[in-house]
Amino acid sequence: MHNKTLRQAKIKEIVTMQVVTSQEDLLEKLRAEGFEVTQATLSRDLHEMNIIRIPHGDGYKYILHQAENSQAIAQIIGMEIINVLNNEFMVVVKTMPGRAQGVAVYLDRLSDSHILGTVAGDDTIFVVPDSNKNIPAVVEKIKGIMIQ
């Protein structure tokens, strides 16, 4: 089997069977299983596998984002969004500190959203719409998530 396939199977196993709080934590668990992987590769794997980080207790944990828990995830994401702003070219989403990247991944995966992509910092996300004509629809979609 391909190394990537084996690695991603192990990632799925670890994330579903254990509480993983950070990428560093997951890297350590993978290394303990004999997988040498860089943080950049792990980050790509998590994105490809639709694994997201959600609040858990006093911290966070990684879970597989699946259809049956998507409503619960939308509610969590909605709580993490503080404000949605825009001008005639771009949408800016303000989040709780440290949550911009998780919210951005969620926004990137929305279907029929008119979002080309996002760039996330710590608490700010730049959302690039597919057209400036669709900015009101993008803002409405994100504000709809906030209300859930």
Tell whether 77 and 133 lie within a shared domain: yes
Tell whether 102 and 134 lie within a shared domain: yes
Tell whether 8 and 58 lie within a shared domain: yes
pLDDT tens digits in sequence order for the chain, 148 residues long: 468 888 998 998 898 888 898 899 999 999 999 999 999 999 999 988 888 888 777 788 888 776 445 677 788 889 999 999 999 999 999 999 999 988 998 898 887 889 999 999 999 999 999 999 999 999 999 999 987 6
The CATH number for 58's domain is: 1.10.10.10
Tell whether 129 and 99 lie within a shared domain: yes
Domain that holds residue 98: 73-147
DSSP string, 79-130: HHEEEEEE-SS-EEEEESTT-HHHHHHHHHT-TT--EEEEEE-SSEEEEEES
What pTM value is reported for the model?
Answer: 0.60
Q: How many domains does the chain have?
A: 2
Tell whether 39 and 97 lie within a shared domain: no
pLDDT of the residue at 94: 98
Q: What are the backbone dihedrals phi and psi of residue 71, each rounded to the nearest 5 degrees, phi first?
A: -65, -45
Tell whether 44 and 89 lie within a shared domain: no
Tell whether 57 and 94 lie within a shared domain: no
Tell whether 80 and 60 lie within a shared domain: no
pLDDT of the residue at 68: 46
- How many Å apart are CA 68 and CA 38, to the nearest integer? 31
pLDDT of the residue at 113: 86
Q: Residue 70: in which H helix or E strand, if any?
A: helix 70-80
Longest dimension (CA), the chain: 50
**Amino acid letter for position 86:** N
pLDDT of the residue at 52: 83
**Amino acid letter for position 55:** P
- How many Å apart are CA 100 and CA 126, to the nearest integer? 10
pLDDT of the residue at 92: 98
The CATH number for 129's domain is: 3.30.1360.40
pLDDT of the residue at 114: 94
